[in-house]
Amino acid sequence: MMGADTADFIRMLAVAVIPVLFGITLHEVAHGRVARLFGDRTAEMLGRLSLNPLRHVDPLGTVIVPLLMLWLGGFLFGWARPVPVNARALHDPRRAMVLVAAAGPLTNLAMAYLWALSLHLTRALYTVAPGAAEFFSQMASFGIFFNVLLCLFNLVPVPPLDGGRVLRGLLPEAVGQRLDALERWGLIIVVALLASGVLGQILRPLFDGAQRLVLAAAGII
């Protein structure tokens, strides 16, 4: 017989899988599409503008590590296959890279808003199918949570995160080169900030504010 913890975990996966796959897929596609808009067709030629999640999933970072973190009750952490961008192929590379990097998080913010709008539909569904309404309400709520979190996390100004790319394009060149030197240690820095709880303390008030803003914009609160 399936234990309660296992059943809850499977239900959580069922609720989360669609928001997660949409969130990471459209995030990466947004990077590639804006890059193509500015002249770089690398992602397009590699088939990375596809809406097929399998083209963007990293088996370790998108599946194994997040599942392990959730199962152990730790912080949610993972990654997708980054869309390749050839800065030398971009028109006005400095400005273009800022927009390419910002496209992913902004797309997640837009998806959070769409998930919030869908809560209106789930409320209407409660009168005819309360079980299905409860499930889809949980899915929509997770979609808001995940996309707001993905947006803010990626905007942390540490390379190779999107926020680091945006900051690189806004800084004077001399300072930007110092930021480039930090990139090799970027992932270690991010993991250390997560594990220590420092990043959570910084992001929590921003997350709460952004989530309230999304819900208010959708007319939920």
Indicate which residues carry an active-site annotation: 28
Identify the CA nearest to 110 among candidates 204, 220, 218: 218
pLDDT tens per residue, range 135-166: 999 999 999 999 999 999 999 999 889 999 99
d(CA 135, CA 19): 13
Residue 221 has pLDDT above 90, yes or no: no
Residue 2 has pLDDT above 60, yes or no: no
Q: Give the per-residue pLDDT at 1.
A: 45
Average pLDDT over residues 192-207: 91
Helix axes 198-217, 130-154, angle to 10 degrees: 130
Residue 188 has pLDDT above 50, yes or no: yes
In contact, 164 and 186? CB cutoff 8 Å = yes
Q: Which two tokens stand for residue 178?
A: 């110092």
Q: What is the pTM of this model?
A: 0.90
